[in-house]
Amino acid sequence: MAGAKKQRRAIDGILIFDKPLGMSSNQALQKVRWLFNANKGGHTGSLDPLASGVLPLCLGEATKFSQYLLDADKAYITEARLGMTTTTGDAEGDVLEIKPVDISLEQVQARLPQFTGDIEQVPPMYSALKHEGQPLYKLARAGETVERKARAVTISQLTILGLEGDRLQLEVHCSKGTYIRTLVEDLGAALGCGAHVASLRRSIAGPFDLSQSVTLKALEALHAEGGPEALDHLLLPMDSGLEDWPVLELTEQTAYYLNHGQAVRVPGSPAFGKVRLKDAEGRFLGIGEMTEDARVAPKRLLRFNA
């Protein structure tokens, strides 16, 4: 029938996508969904269009567990341009101020401890955070500035990779919610010359890194050769982002009761926390959480028949 809507596939798994520059996280998701012809998908936290790198994308039932990747730690490689501040904190914004740069490696190294560990950041105006229902970046584009509360973040590692003239390369390992633009701006202010992010690449998201990622070019080449099915081998298991969680093996009977919303006792259960649930054949069934009376309660389950 002419004009009939294409039937999407029910396919489940996680793709570690190497997001290219100039593409929003949502554009990346929709492109990957189209290539896989997947019926459902979700990303695991936005990566700015001016940033590239690791963006785990969840397809199908894997979207049920995307929140846990959203909460995961991240790592970035960034190049800061010293001596220039911009309206957005990155290369996309208008120049605010230019200062001469005469900064040594030792001067930068001496400032890093104040930006390492548990610190507070004031989110930038050019961010997706909302103020009275409006994204801050929309207010910023309209010329408005509103007060933002400082937020606690953790920077577990901050390493200098190089310094050439006004270009400073850094590697940052941080908690969710960390703004690299804010870190670079604050470091530039501490150095007395100002700075903005010239380039940004995410190297790690949770347990995933660039070595596991797939480029758009590679996806398109495989799709051109064999259609959506040619991409399926690139998907990681739905629980691959939860590999540090304990695994509990369910019998057919305990799986049945869990699937009907009941908490059950499972031998070998930990005292507390969340667990991965699998059947006797090792198939992932979903996640559960320990209750105070040492039973496992269903938290997020896949559609399965036990």
- Please give the CATH superfamily to which domain 247-301 belongs: PUA domain (2.30.130.10)
Query: Residue 304 — very low, low, confident or very high, per pLDDT cuts 50/70/90?
Result: low
Its pTM stands at: 0.90
Condensed to tens digits (0 to 9), the pLDDT of residues 131-161 reads 667 776 676 676 777 777 889 999 999 999 9
pLDDT at 240: 94
User: Measured between alpha carbons, how far is 120 from 218 in angstroms, rounded to an integer?
Assistant: 39
Give the residue-averaged pLDDT of 107-132. Answer: 86
Condensed to tens digits (0 to 9), the pLDDT of residues 187-246 reads 999 999 999 999 999 999 999 999 999 999 999 999 999 999 999 999 999 999 999 999
Residues 195, 72, 29, 217: is their CA dihedral positive or negative?
positive
User: Measured between alpha carbons, how far is 56 from 16 in angstroms, rounded to an integer?
Assistant: 4
Kindly list the catalytic residues: 48
Longest dimension (CA), the chain: 71
Same CATH fold, 247-301 and 74-205?
no
Tell me which architecture the domain covering 74-205 has in CATH: 2-Layer Sandwich (3.30)
User: Measured between alpha carbons, how far is 58 from 39 in angstroms, rounded to an integer?
Assistant: 11
Question: Which CATH fold topology does 13-71+208-234 show?
Answer: Pseudouridine synthase (3.30.2350)
Which is higher by pLDDT, 193 or 124?
Answer: 193
User: Measured between alpha carbons, how far is 233 from 92 in angstroms, rounded to an integer?
Assistant: 37
Q: Is the pLDDT of residue 276 over 90?
A: yes
Condensed to tens digits (0 to 9), the pLDDT of residues 54-92 reads 999 999 999 999 888 888 999 999 999 999 999 989 998
Distance, CA of 204 to chain centre: 8
Give the residue-averaged pLDDT of 18-42. Answer: 95
